[in-house]
Chains A and B, each alone.
Chain A
Amino acid sequence: MPADTSVTAPASIAVPPAQSALTEPAWVRILLIGGALLFLALFLLLPLVAVFAEALRRGLGAYWAALTEPDAVAAIELTLIVAAISVPANLLFGVAASWCVAKFDFRGKNLLITLIDLPFSVSPVISGLIYVLLFGMNGLFGTYLRDMGVQIIFAVPGLVLATIFVTFPFVARELIPLMQEQGSDEEEAALVLGASGWQTFWRVTIPNIKWGLLYGVLLCNARAMGEFGAVSVVSGHIRGETNTMPLHVEILYNEYNFVAAFAVASLLAMLALVTLVVKTALEWRFGDELAASRH
């Protein structure tokens, strides 16, 4: 019956599957999502699990012993000290730098922005070497510093300097775009309403950037505690004295003390996890305010 087919054929075309212009067929979606998840599992999740698995291979007792051994404790303390100095320092520098980049026009502004990025583009080993060249025994200020009785390289000040250098961009990079986007209208409004410069800074500028600032500080802290390259050059690897956690991990690993190495590494991994959780929690808890500050 040719007449029938000519009627039914268009009818079956007239009912396409409910699909919007931007929706892909199911197999494409499954392939894309599955691929992304597989990649994440392979390259991010699996190594993380491996760290903890290796650390706990000989049980909790060995894990605990590796963390409480004097050299490990010294490394943890040193890492905390270095972070406790370099993160606040970069907080101040970062806020000051982004403040002047975002709110003022001056010659050499682009140069300043490029300089802020320098630590990201330079290999951390070079960053460490710079300080050795400047403050080392044979360095530019070496003789002077020795005469003054100040030791920077192979000591805590060197570690702090190298860490500050490497982590400098985190806060500034986070704040500059945010502050540029916000402009200075609100600061001007505050000034006209009678606020002093100080009041304007604390009541208007800081609240507007607090989330970006917090995020920058979190990242800065994670990197300050985890930095290896630059710190390795200036440290001198003196056990119990100038070894930070990442350096301690390397030494243990080179001594085939895998359980201890991974135990300390697991602390660093946990730091990363805590950073992520705190960031996510903040975004979840203060999502509205966060959106408001970027409106």
Chain B
Amino acid sequence: MAIQVSGITKRFNDFTALDSVELEVKSGELLALLGPSGSGKTTLLRIMAGLESPDGGGLLLNGEEALGLKPRDRQVGFVFQHYALFRHMTVFENVAFGLKVRPRGQRPGASEIKRRVTELLELVQLSPFAGRYPVQLSGGQRQRVALARALAIEPKVLLLDEPFGALDAKVRKELRRWLRKLHDDIHITSVFVTHDQEEALELADRVVVMNQGRIEQIGTPAEVYDHPASAFVYEFLGQVNRFDCTVEGGIARVGDGALAIPTQGGVQGPAVAYVRPHDLGVTPASAGPARISGIHVVGPDARIDIDLAGLTLEAEMDRERLATLGIAAGDRCAIHIDRARVFAR
């Protein structure tokens, strides 16, 4: 089922959480709403579910006007950030809840409910835990119960609010892969909210980058990473070096001419240039303009702090390359920039 968001606006007192947001979620895709806290992503998700009502705009679920519908009539599955499992019910009862509360006519029989719940618990690999209470489960297990519970009502859309936010790094990675695989298997239109760019880029078919209640960019993970539409997107997606510069005749000059970067596009005058750490090349040069102020090895990669006429820059390379260069903290070096994006200031 497709979701069409048109001109949705939401204010909380003086704070504008969403400012005329336009968005189309295609049927069957896995879409990420990515942004810092306060960007309005969770509010947008809650409006889709009917847990929040907008001050203006329209929402179509599968072509039908949905703003007038109560949450229970929207056929959406919602996975809450802190799972919101019913603490007094077992895992089985949690998953069965959505089926048991159906009106008498539509309610499946007890054996049918049992069959469906068992099937779902198998899907989320929690069959042995059917009789446990939520407190007796780990974070990752609770998250999967929440997912099974949301899927039990056979929703047309699955909405997930920071689904991996409360998990530790390793579990988060596993669960992320597992969710991607699950989505590939059942192809349910899904929207998830996250503030973790790595999660959005790895998991989603398309990423919506949000900031201050507006959408900054919509695109595939590769598009938003390689061609950020705005300075905000550039800064938000991954580590970045930021220079205040002046562009004259296609050359961005940083500081007192310490660095000159060739640019494309028609930006002139005061601007901001962005360079990703892995696009910043370092070569040892005894009379070079820059100095290496520190080297941090993180797993297979090395992060190099560089001091260039008072500017602190960061470069990134793998450890083998670091070894071939043979540089150490305190050495002087030259830097060259392969790729930079310049936005007018």
Q: Mark B46-90, 1 if CB is under 8 A from A, else 0.
A: 000111000000000000000000111000111010101111110
- Chain B nearest CB: distance from A175 CB in Å? 16
Which residues of B, 73-122, contact A by the 8 Å Cβ criterion?
Answer: 76-78, 80, 82, 84-89, 97-98, 101-102
Evaluate contact between B71 and A289: CB separation under 8 angstroms: no
Evaluate contact between A191 and B88: CB separation under 8 angstroms: no
Q: How far is it, in angstroms, between the C-alpha of A207 and the C-alpha of B97 when the chains are bound?
A: 14
- Chain A nearest CB: distance from B344 CB in Å? 42
Q: Mark A162-201, 1 if CB is under 8 A from B, else 0.
A: 0000000000000000000000011011111111100100
A291 at the interface (CB under 8 A from B): yes
Evaluate contact between A189 and B87: CB separation under 8 angstroms: no
B317 at the interface (CB under 8 A from A): no
B332 / chain A contacts, CB cutoff of 8 Å? none
B135 / chain A contacts, CB cutoff of 8 Å? 291-292, 295
B82 / chain A contacts, CB cutoff of 8 Å? 185
Q: How far is it, in angstroms, between the C-alpha of A186 and the C-alpha of B98 when the chains are bound?
A: 13
A293 at the interface (CB under 8 A from B): yes
Q: How far is it, in angstroms, between the C-alpha of A161 and the C-alpha of B189 when the chains are bound?
A: 57
Q: How far is it, in angstroms, between the C-alpha of A199 and the C-alpha of B102 when the chains are bound?
A: 10
Q: Which of B88, B149, B153 neighbours the largest number of chain A CB atoms within 10 Å of its CB?
A: B88
Evaluate contact between A186 and B84: CB separation under 8 angstroms: yes
Evaluate contact between A190 and B97: CB separation under 8 angstroms: yes
A203 at the interface (CB under 8 A from B): yes
Evaluate contact between B87 and A193: CB separation under 8 angstroms: no
Evaluate contact between A185 and B87: CB separation under 8 angstroms: no
A204 at the interface (CB under 8 A from B): yes
Q: How far is it, in angstroms, between the C-alpha of A291 and the C-alpha of B102 when the chains are bound?
A: 30
Evaluate contact between B84 and A293: CB separation under 8 angstroms: no
Q: How far is it, in angstroms, between the C-alpha of A208 and the C-alpha of B87 when the chains are bound?
A: 7
B129 at the interface (CB under 8 A from A): no
Contact partner of B153 (CB less than 8 A), chosen from A194, A291, A292, is A194
Which residues of A, 187-236, contact B by the 8 Å Cβ criterion?
Answer: 188-196, 199, 203-204, 207-208
A190 / chain B contacts, CB cutoff of 8 Å? 86, 97, 101
Evaluate contact between A192 and B77: CB separation under 8 angstroms: yes
Q: Which residue on B lies nearest to A294, using beta carbons?
A: B87
Q: How far is it, in angstroms, between the C-alpha of A203 and the C-alpha of B100 when the chains are bound?
A: 11
B274 at the interface (CB under 8 A from A): no
Assuming the A-B contacts A193-B101, A193-B149, A292-B133, are A185 and B80 also in contact, with contact meaning beta carbons closer than 8 angstroms in the complex?
yes
- Chain A nearest CB: distance from B28 CB in Å? 21
A295 / chain B contacts, CB cutoff of 8 Å? 87, 134-135
Evaluate contact between B153 and A193: CB separation under 8 angstroms: yes
Q: How far is it, in angstroms, between the C-alpha of A147 and the C-alpha of B266 when the chains are bound?
A: 91
Evaluate contact between B149 and A292: CB separation under 8 angstroms: no
Q: How far is it, in angstroms, between the C-alpha of A292 and the C-alpha of B133 when the chains are bound?
A: 8
Evaluate contact between B88 and A194: CB separation under 8 angstroms: no
Evaluate contact between B97 and A193: CB separation under 8 angstroms: yes
Assuming the A-B contacts A195-B101, A199-B101, are A189 and B78 also in contact, with contact meaning beta carbons closer than 8 angstroms in the complex?
yes
Evaluate contact between A289 and B86: CB separation under 8 angstroms: no
Q: Which of A188, A196, A293 neighbours the largest number of chain B CB atoms within 10 Å of its CB?
A: A188
A195 / chain B contacts, CB cutoff of 8 Å? 72, 97, 101
Contact partner of B72 (CB less than 8 A), chosen from A192, A291, A292, A293, is A192
Q: How far is it, in angstroms, between the C-alpha of A204 and the C-alpha of B84 when the chains are bound?
A: 11
Q: How far is it, in angstroms, between the C-alpha of A72 and the C-alpha of B152 when the chains are bound?
A: 60
Q: Which residue on A lies nearest to B51, using beta carbons?
A: A188
Q: Which residue on B lies nearest to A187, using beta carbons?
A: B84
Q: Which residue on B lies nearest to A193, using beta carbons?
A: B98
- Chain A nearest CB: distance from B251 CB in Å? 55
Q: How far is it, in angstroms, between the C-alpha of A189 and the C-alpha of B97 when the chains are bound?
A: 10
Evaluate contact between A192 and B88: CB separation under 8 angstroms: no
Assuming the A-B contacts A193-B101, A292-B135, are A188 and B88 also in contact, with contact meaning beta carbons closer than 8 angstroms in the complex?
no
- Chain A nearest CB: distance from B85 CB in Å? 8
Q: How far is it, in angstroms, between the C-alpha of A199 and the C-alpha of B107 when the chains are bound?
A: 14
Q: How far is it, in angstroms, between the C-alpha of A207 and the C-alpha of B78 when the chains are bound?
A: 22
Which residues of A, 278-295, contact B by the 8 Å Cβ criterion?
Answer: 289, 291-293, 295
Evaluate contact between A185 and B72: CB separation under 8 angstroms: no
Q: Mark A21-38, 1 if CB is under 8 A from B, else 0.
A: 000000000000000000
Q: How far is it, in angstroms, between the C-alpha of A292 and the C-alpha of B94 when the chains are bound?
A: 15
B101 / chain A contacts, CB cutoff of 8 Å? 190, 193-196, 199, 203
Q: Which residue on B lies nearest to A207, using beta carbons?
A: B88
B133 / chain A contacts, CB cutoff of 8 Å? 292
Which residues of A, 243-295, contact B by the 8 Å Cβ criterion?
Answer: 289, 291-293, 295
B70 / chain A contacts, CB cutoff of 8 Å? 191
Q: Can you list 28 residue pairs at the A/B interface with Cβ under 8 Å?
A: A185-B80, A185-B82, A186-B85, A188-B51, A188-B80, A189-B78, A189-B84, A189-B149, A191-B51, A192-B51, A192-B71, A192-B77, A192-B78, A192-B150, A193-B97, A193-B101, A193-B149, A194-B98, A194-B102, A194-B153, A195-B101, A199-B101, A203-B97, A208-B87, A208-B88, A292-B88, A293-B87, A295-B87
Given A186-B86, A292-B135, 7 other A-B contacts at CB below 8 A? A186-B84, A189-B78, A189-B84, A189-B85, A191-B51, A199-B101, A204-B86
A residues lining the B interface (CB < 8 Å): 185-186, 188-196, 199, 203-204, 207-208, 289, 291-293, 295
In the A-B complex, the 8 residue pairs with the closest CB atoms: A185-B84, A193-B98, A195-B101, A189-B84, A207-B88, A192-B78, A194-B72, A192-B71
